[in-house]
Amino acid sequence: MNSSGRKNTCQIVNLSLISVCLFSYCGASIAAEQASTELDYLQEFPIVLSASRLHQPQDEAPNAMTVIDRDMIKASGFRQIADLFRLVPGTYVSNSTGWQPVVAYHGSTDDYARRMQVRVDGRAIYMPPLGAVAWEDLPLHIDDIERIEVIRGPAAASHGGNSTQGVINIITRDASAVEGFKASAGKGNGGIADAAVSMGKAGNILDYRASFGYRSDHGYDAVQRPYNNYSDINNDSYQTRLFNLRGNYHPNTVDSFDFQLGYTNGSRGDGTAKPSDPNSPHDRHNNENFSQLAWIRGMEGGDELRLQYYHIYQDVLNAVPAVAPFPALGDSWTNTRDDLELQHTLHTSPDNRLVWGASTRSDWTRAEHKFLAEQTVRQSTLFAHDELRMTQQWLLNIGAMQEDNGMGKRSTSPRIALIYKAAERQTLRAGISKASRNPSVYEERGNYHFPELGGYTIYQASGGLKPESVLSREIGYLGEFPTMGFTIDTRIYHDQLRDIIFTTTTNPVESVNMFDAEHKGLEITTKHHWGAHRHLTFNYAWQMLSSPFTASPDLTYNYLGTNYSETMPRNMLSALYSETFEGDIALSFGYYQQDTMLPIDRGFRDRQQLTRRGDVRIAKQFKSGNGGPEGEIAWVVQGLFADGHVDYMDSNVYKRRTYLTASVQY
C-alpha cells in the first residue's frame, strides 16, 4: 500500500476508534443518571443465521450484518423488495428500467450486480445466462418476508462464489406464522395497482400459508432531451402475477419437512422508439417457477441434519416486432437450476460448534441468440465453519469453502474472525477473508448475435477468464446501551480486488480480466428507541474506491472515461423513523441521500448528482376488539421532495409517487 493509502486507512481507523470511545463514554455517563425503564423496550442483538450458517447473536457473527425486520419493512412503505436495501449502509439501489432494479454493495454498480449473492430461504437466485437477479420475477410478495439478513462484506466461506461483496438472505415467514385470511389492495399515480391475498393455518402436524399477488406500474415517465436524441424513451411498464405456497409437515418431535412452491408470470415493457434502434417498443413475457423441499432432523444436544433440494425454472419470451428497415427479432431464453445440499450442525464440546456440508448444482441454459449452443454447468462445494468459545470474553470463528465452478476452475475461500466481548453488550470484532467470483456462463462462453441482422454480433467471448478475487480485512464494534435505548454498529474495512472482469470497447465486445482495485471505508448504523412506540434507524457510509482504471469512455463525444473512484457515491446515508400514536395511528418517515456518482457501465450523460429522497407513510389501524376482523388504511408518498433526480441513466427521471393501500384480515 502506498503512503497515501496508509494515511487514509489510518484516518479511517482513528475516526472509528474515536467514535467507539465517544459512544462508550457517553453510554457510561448517561447510564448512571437514567433509570432502567427502557430495558423492556430494547431487545438484545437479534439471532442471525446467514453469516456462518450457525444460529448466533449478531454480536458473535464473523461478519458485519444488517437485519431488516418486519417492522422496518412495514414502516418503509416500499412496494418492491429491492428498495429495502436502501436501509443497508453502503448499498446503492436504483433501476435500469421500471422493472429491473440495480442493487450493489461497495462498487460494481452495473445492472447485473454480479458480486452480490442473493438467497431466499437458502435458495440461490443469482441465475444464468447473464448472471443476474431478476428481482421482479421472484415468486415472493413483500408481505411474506419475515426478515432480511445482509452480510456486509465477503462471505464466500459460507455461501460460495459470487459472494465477494456481500450476501442478501431473504427469510420468509414460517408456514405456522400466518393464521386466517388477509386481503390488501393499493392504487396510486404512475399506474400503481397492487393486490394481494394470503391465508394460512397452523395444525398439529401440518402448517401452511399461501399468497396470491398482483403488482404493476408504468415505470419511469418518458423523457426526451430537447437538445439531442441520446436519451431513450422509456418503455418499461410492467405487470406481475405471483403465487407462493409454504408448508411444514412435522410428524414427530425430531423430523420436519419444509416445502415451498412459487410461480410468477408477467409482461415487461422493453425497447425504444429511436429510429436507429432495431429493438422497437414491445412487451416481453417472463415466467418463473420453483419448488423446494427441505428435511430437517433434530438430534441430541442441539445437533441438526438438514437435506435440501430445489428446482428453479425461468423462461423469457422476447419477440421484437419488425420496424422498417429492420426485420423481426427474437431474443428469448430458458434457464433451469437443480441444487442438492447436505448440512450437518454438531456440538463437539460445550465450548465448540461446527457446521459442515456439501452441495452439487446443475445450471442449464438455452438462449439461441446469446450462445452458439445449449449450456450446462455442474458445480460443487464443500464447506465447514467452526465456532470456538475460548473464554467468556474471546470467541473464534473460522471457516472455508472449496468450490469447483464447473468451468475448469477450483477455488478455496477461507475466513477467520476474532471476537472480544469487552463488557456486557460491548463487542469488538477483527476479521480477514478471501473470496472469489466465478465468471458467469455468458462472460465465459457468450456469443450475442443476430442472424436476422446479417450475422451482427454484439458480444463474443474468448474464454479463459480467471475468477475475480478479493482479500478483505475489517474491524467492527457493536455496542448496546439499554438505559439509553441505543445501539451502535461500526465497521472499517479494506478490500483488495484482483482480476476484475469488465467488457472491452472493441466491436464486438468481450469480457476480460481488466483491472485491480482497492476499496476502503467506514460504516455506522445506530438504532434509537424512545419507549415502545418510537424508533429511529440511522445508517452512514463513507467509501473510497481507487484504481487506475477509467470506466465508460465514449470517443464519439471525446469523453475519455470516468475515474473509478466516482463509480460509487463517496458518502451515503439513510434514516427510518417510525412512531405510533394513540388511536392506532402510525407515522413513518424515510430519508435517503447519496453523493454524486456515475454507474460503472453508463455513459457520462448518465451522471447522478447529489440525490435526496424523502418518503412518508401514515396509517390508521382498525381493531374490533373481540377477535373479529381488523384492517388498516395507509397513505404513502415516495419522493416527497420531488427533485426529479436521475436513476442510473438520464432517461430514468424519478418523480413523486403517491399511493393508498387498504387491508383487512380475520
The predicted-structure confidence for 434-492, as pLDDT tens digits, reads as follows: 999 889 999 999 999 999 998 899 999 999 999 999 999 999 999 999 999 999 999 99
pLDDT at 341: 98
pLDDT at 469: 94
Peptide bond into 325 cis (omega under 30): yes
pLDDT at 223: 56
CB atoms near residue 354 (< 10 Å): 18
The set of residues, in sequence order, having a beta carbon less than 8 Å from that of 5 and lying 6+ positions away, is 518, 520, 546
**Are the beta carbons of 165 and 139 closer than 8 angstroms?**
no
605: region left, alpha or beta (phi > 0 left; psi from -120 to 50 alpha): alpha
Query: Of the ranges 76-85, 98-107, 407-416, which one carries the lowest mean pLDDT score?
Result: 98-107
Q: Of 435, 139, 150, which is closest to residue 263 (Cα–Cα)?
A: 139
User: Average pLDDT, stretch 572-597?
Assistant: 96
**Are the beta carbons of 221 and 234 closer than 8 angstroms?**
yes
The answer to whether residue 1 scores a pLDDT higher than 60 is: no
Q: Of 99, 190, 233, 229, which is closest to residue 642 (Cα–Cα)?
A: 190
Query: Of the ranges 146-155, 214-223, 396-405, 634-643, which one carries the lowest mean pLDDT score?
Result: 214-223
- With pLDDT > 70 as the criterion, what percentage of the chain qualifies? 90
Q: Which has more pLDDT, 25 or 192?
A: 192
**Are the beta carbons of 64 and 88 closer than 8 angstroms?**
no
Q: Of 49, 188, 166, which is closest to residue 115 (Cα–Cα)?
A: 166
**Are the beta carbons of 216 and 240 closer than 8 angstroms?**
yes
Q: Please, where are the H alpha helices in 446-501?
A: none
Q: What are the grid coordinates assigned to 140, written together?
A: 415472493
Q: What are the grid coordinates assigned to 242, written together?
A: 405471483
The set of residues, in sequence order, having a beta carbon less than 8 Å from that of 238 and lying 6+ positions away, is 98, 99, 136, 216, 217, 219, 266, 267, 268, 269
pLDDT at 21: 38
pLDDT at 603: 83
| Digit-coded pLDDT (tens) for 290-305 | 999 999 999 998 999 9
User: Average pLDDT, stretch 349-362?
Assistant: 97
Report the C-alpha gap between 74 and 588 in whole angstroms: 9
pLDDT at 29: 38
| Digit-coded pLDDT (tens) for 211-233 | 999 999 999 875 554 444 445 56
| Digit-coded pLDDT (tens) for 43-63 | 568 999 999 999 999 999 999
pLDDT at 111: 67
Report the C-alpha gap between 28 and 157 in whole angstroms: 37
- With pLDDT > 90 as the criterion, what percentage of the chain qualifies? 73
Query: Of the ranges 342-351, 358-367, 543-552, which one carries the lowest mean pLDDT score?
Result: 543-552
User: Average pLDDT, stretch 21-25?
Assistant: 37
Name the phi and psi angles at 632, rounded to 5: -150, 140
Amino acid at position 450, single letter: F
Give the H or E element holding residue 17.
helix 3-31
pLDDT at 47: 92
The answer to whether residue 552 scores a pLDDT higher than 60 is: yes
The set of residues, in sequence order, having a beta carbon less than 8 Å from that of 178 and lying 6+ positions away, is 198, 199, 200, 201, 209
Report the C-alpha gap between 198 and 214 in whole angstroms: 12
The answer to whether residue 147 scores a pLDDT higher than 70 is: yes
Q: Which has more pLDDT, 612 or 29?
A: 612
| 3-state class (DSSP) for residue 254 | coil
Give the H or E element holding residue 476.
strand 468-481
The answer to whether residue 525 scores a pLDDT higher than 80 is: yes
**Are the beta carbons of 251 and 205 closer than 8 angstroms?**
yes
Report the C-alpha gap between 651 and 95 in whole angstroms: 11
CB atoms near residue 412 (< 10 Å): 13
The answer to whether residue 6 scores a pLDDT higher than 80 is: no
Prediction pTM value: 0.91
pLDDT at 521: 96
| Digit-coded pLDDT (tens) for 176-217 | 998 999 999 999 999 999 999 999 999 999 999 999 999 999
**Are the beta carbons of 508 and 500 closer than 8 angstroms?**
no
Q: What is the mean pLDDT of the chain?
A: 89
DSSP states along 50-109: TTTSS-EEGGGSSSEEEEEEHHHHHHH--SSGGGGGGGSTTEEEEEEETTEEEEEESS--
User: Average pLDDT, stretch 655-665?
Assistant: 95
User: Average pLDDT, stretch 85-100?
Assistant: 93
User: Average pLDDT, stretch 502-519?
Assistant: 93
What pLDDT band is residue 516 in, cutting at 50, 70 and 90?
A: very high
Query: Of the ranges 8-22, 77-91, 259-273, 617-631, which one carries the lowest mean pLDDT score?
Result: 8-22
